[in-house]
Structure 1
Amino acid sequence: MAQQVRGVIARAKGEPVRIETIVVPDPGPGEAVVKIQACGVCHTDLHYREGGINDEFPFLLGHEAAGIVEAVGDDVTEVAPGDFVILNWRAVCGQCRACLRGRPQYCFDTHNAKQKMTLLDGTELSPALGIGAFAEKTLVAAGQCTKVDPEASPAAAGLLGCGVMAGLGAAINTGNVGRGDSVAVIGCGGVGAAAVTGAHLAGVSKIIAIDIDDKKLATAKELGATHTVNSRSTDPVEAVRELTGGFGADVVIEAVGRPETYKQAFYARDLAGTVVLVGVPTPDMRLELPLIDVFGRGGALKSSWYGDCLPARDFPMLIDLYRQGRLDLDAFVTETIALEDVEKAFERMHHGDVLRSVVVF
């Protein structure tokens, strides 16, 4: 029987979000209903509200979430009612050319629930990243549920569902950072801070955090950065070279998503070094680089999709590290808030004084 729950809805571009009653249908084949325990407020949710993703309003916002599986549909084997899960937005198909080549982290045909959640009047909702977790319950594809240790804090665990995984994965999976490497991270918001954490977790010897905000740099230092650079007052390219013997960093992670900072990343890397773009640009942005410099510096220019993660592999492993005290996910939870406070959390995000506000149910 369909259920009625409260959820955070973005009705139109730029309008403040509102709490409305939504209808969650019973799960169909391959689907699951999840009772949400916690959901992080990610910048992507703000992009949806501002029309920066698409114009398929109204949106049911929220996607960095953890909760308990309440019910599953036919043919579901991945999870069962009662499982504690982290939600992901890339349920792999198992059949596309990437999956068949043994690279499911690059699945080209990821999917979501087939049924739609609606408002009371029947208006279909577009769930953010196919999840829609600023709600007491949500409907997802069962493959979007990853079972993890139920002793983990939901507020911390849910952050692996997007931003923290994107940053950790940009360092560990995409950048393949390791012992003896030098790594620079440009932009130390939630994703960049997670990239610093990932580099530290991998045993990187020199981690250079770059931002224009001293508070974010201080947090990056706490998470493992060995050096910090305020690029408002210091040329970051020259600073990185000075800190790496004049050569540049082995891996530079760009967590801002702007042409200006991408160029900084490009020129701050060593010869044959790697640039990883994990910051999300807008569709209108353009990048211009001398082609001879692209050729002459060698190395690799990579984009990181969701930290190139495979949720079934990475989420349980990272939660185990968290439970062992080796990965401080709690450090990313700046504040816990109620569902009614999401709009205020967007305002705080603009001021840059939070890593994550987390809605706790």
Structure 2
Amino acid sequence: MPRTSQAVIARAKDAPVELVTISVPDPGPGEAVVRVQASGVCHTDLHYKLGGIGEDFPYLLGHEAAGIVEEVGEGVTDVAPGDYVVLNWRAVCGDCRACNRGRPWYCFNTHNAAQKMTIADGEGAGTELSPALGIGAFTEFTLVAAGQCTKVDPAAAPEVAGLLGCGVMAGIGAAINTGNVGRGDSVAVIGCGGVGAAAVAGARLAGAATIIAVDLDERKLAKATELGATHTVNAGEGDVVEAIRALTDGNGADVVIDAVGRPETWKQAFYARDLAGTVVLVGVPTPDMQVPELPLLDVFGRGGSLKSSWYGDCLPSRDFPLLIDLFLQGRLPLDAFVTETVGIGDVEAAFDKMHGGDVLRSVVVL
């Protein structure tokens, strides 16, 4: 029998979110229903609400989630009812050109549930919902592709484990997977919100010797220091590029991670890296943003790599269990990213706190 569930939706562009009852279908072939236990409030959810990602309203918000598999559909063998899982939004297909070349983290045909959840009653009853990043986790139950469920150690609390579903994984992966940060490297992270702070933690985990956190907000710089930054730069107090060079013997950092995703910060990252250094763009730009003018000779002459990081270039089946194990061993402070826990009716207020820079991450506990 289809389930009904309380859920947070964005009905129209920039309208306040609403708590409604939705209908969640029984899982079909390759699908799973998950009872959500916790879901982080991410900037991506706010982008959906503001219309910055698409116009397929109404959106079922939420995607950084952990919970318990309730039911699986035909042909599902990797997870079973009762499994504790973190949800991911890149369920690899196993058969596209990237997967067949042994690079599944670049999968070009990731899976989502084929069926749609709908508004159950009231205004717009029967309207199909677009789940954020194919998940939609601000709800008691959600329907996903079974490949979006990654089993992890249940000893990790859901409000912590779920953060790997997006922002924390994106930041850690930007440093370790995309940036290939190694022991003794120098790293600069521009923008120290949730993703940037995670990139700092990832650089520390990888053994970087110098980790420079850059932000306008002293509160975020303080948190970055707690997570492993060796130096901080307030971007409002001088030239960011020169500050990073001054902290790296005048050379620039081996890896510079742009966790903001604006033309100005990307250009700073480009010039703040050492010769043959690496720039990693993990902050998500809006569609109107353009790469700033750069002399082509500078692109050639500085060498190195200019990379974008999709979801931290992660492979959930590999990375989620590993990072949870590191957390449980006390080697990765995932719990430091949880500023507060809130109820399902508090998402709009959590967006306000996020916009004001008052939290690293609010987490909805169901």
Which category describes the TM-score, using the shorter chain as reference length? over 0.9
Query: Do structure 1's residue 17 and structure 2's residue 17 form an aligned pair?
Result: yes
Aligned partner letter, 1:314: D
The Cα offsets for residues 208-245 of structure 1, whole Å up to 9 and x where unpaired, read as 00000100000000000000000101211001111111
SS in 1 for 2:76: coil
Provide the residue aligned with 2:267 in structure 1.
263
The Cα offsets for residues 1-56 of structure 1, whole Å up to 9 and x where unpaired, read as 00111000100001000100000000000000000000000000010011111100
Shift of 1:289: 1.1
The Cα offsets for residues 285-309 of structure 1, whole Å up to 9 and x where unpaired, read as 1112111100010000000000000
CA distance in 1, matches of 2:248, 2:227: 20
Query: Do structure 1's residue 310 and structure 2's residue 305 form an aligned pair?
Result: no
Q: Structure 2 unaligned segments of length 5 or more: list them.
A: none
State the identity as a percent: 77
CA distance in 2, matches of 1:290, 1:248: 19
Provide the residue aligned with 2:52 in structure 1.
52
CA distance in 1, matches of 2:329, 2:156: 11
SS in 1 for 2:237: coil
Taking only aligned residues, the RMSD between alpha carbons, in angstroms, comes to 0.5
CA distance in 2, matches of 1:102, 1:301: 22
SS in 2 for 1:317: helix
Which residue among 236, 239, 246 is the counterpart of 1:242? 246
Provide the residue aligned with 2:68 in structure 1.
68
The Cα offsets for residues 167-205 of structure 1, whole Å up to 9 and x where unpaired, read as 000000000001110000000000000000000001100
Shift of 1:353: 1.4
Provide the residue aligned with 1:285 in structure 2.
289
In the TM superposition, 1:165-314 aligns within 5 A as 165-287=169-291, 288-314=293-319
Provide the residue aligned with 2:349 in structure 1.
344
Aligned partner letter, 1:244: T
CA distance in 1, matches of 2:89, 2:192: 23
Q: TM-score, normalised by structure 2?
A: 0.98
Query: Do structure 1's residue 332 and structure 2's residue 322 form an aligned pair?
Result: no
SS in 1 for 2:181: coil
SS in 2 for 1:102: coil
SS in 2 for 1:232: helix
Shift of 1:122: 1.2
CA distance in 1, matches of 2:233, 2:358: 18
Shift of 1:139: 0.2
Aligned partner letter, 1:71: E
CA distance in 2, matches of 1:131, 1:160: 14
CA distance in 1, matches of 2:47, 2:244: 31
Aligned partner letter, 1:145: C
Q: TM-score, normalised by structure 1?
A: 1.00
CA distance in 2, matches of 1:263, 1:353: 27
The Cα offsets for residues 145-183 of structure 1, whole Å up to 9 and x where unpaired, read as 000001111001000000000000000000000111000
Aligned partner letter, 2:171: G
Aligned partner letter, 1:349: M
Aligned partner letter, 1:154: P
Aligned partner letter, 2:301: G
Provide the residue aligned with 1:160 in structure 2.
164
Q: Structure 1 unaligned segments of length 5 or more: list them.
A: none
CA distance in 1, matches of 2:116, 2:328: 36
CA distance in 2, matches of 1:22, 1:78: 27
Provide the residue aligned with 1:30 in structure 2.
30
Aligned partner letter, 2:357: G
CA distance in 2, matches of 1:160, 1:234: 34
CA distance in 1, matches of 2:168, 2:38: 15
